[in-house]
Amino acid sequence: MATSIADQVPIAEGLFTWPSNDPRLLGSRCTNCGVVTFPAQSSCAACAGTDTETMELERKGTLWTYTIQCFLPNRPPYEGPETPETFRPFGVGYVELPGQTRVETRIKCDDPDSLRVGMEMELVVEKFIEKDGKDIISYFFQPVEAA
């Protein structure tokens, strides 16, 4: 089982700072109109400007909306850790980061029925799956009370 930083890789480059003791999602801000997006973009969907700067996003926000995934997603393209035998429903939603943007995320919690719009959420960066002998690290949000 992979345990060292050398055996850990992000699920996609440029989504979050890694390795880090204080991981942050990486977004972009348009220097023309100020719109913030995640993931980072080289142009602005709001004004079509092409001058953007990468920025670290806030770690906490509020649950803006969500749904509960009640069935195992199709493989491919999904490559999650669940099997038909181990699958448990999980939350998927948008977390609004104050003054920045909304981030689509899988929600990490023991009881998805406890989720509520407006809950305070916090970023978690951790192992999602193991693939080819490497821990694939991804981002999630979880209720602050579960942290």
**What's residue 4's pLDDT?**
73
- Tell me what pLDDT residue 146 has: 65
Closest CA to 27 of 3, 58, 57, 49: 57
Retrieve residue 116's tokens.
């509520």
> Does residue 76 carry a pLDDT above 90?
no
Closest listed residue to residue 93, CA positions, set 104, 101, 102 = 104
Strands (E), 34-146: 36-37, 52-56, 60-69, 90-96, 102-107, 120-131, 134-143
Q: Quick check: 2 pLDDT over 80?
A: no
Residue range(s) defining the domain that contains residue 60: 5-142
Question: What tens digit of pLDDT does each residue of 103-119 get?
Answer: 999 999 999 999 999 99
pTM: 0.90
pLDDT tens-digit readout, 47-64: 999 999 999 999 999 999
- Percentage with pLDDT > 90 across the chain: 84
> Does residue 147 lie in a domain region?
no
Q: Please indicate whether residue 80 or residue 111 has the higher confidence score (pLDDT).
A: 111
82 located within any domain: yes
Rg (CA), the chain: 16
CB-CB contact of 81 with 128 (8 Å): yes
Domain count, the chain: 1
- Do the domain assignments include residue 134? yes
Measured distance CA(142)–CA(11) in Å, rounded: 18
Name the residue with higher pLDDT: 2 or 68: 68
Quick one: pLDDT at residue 147?
58
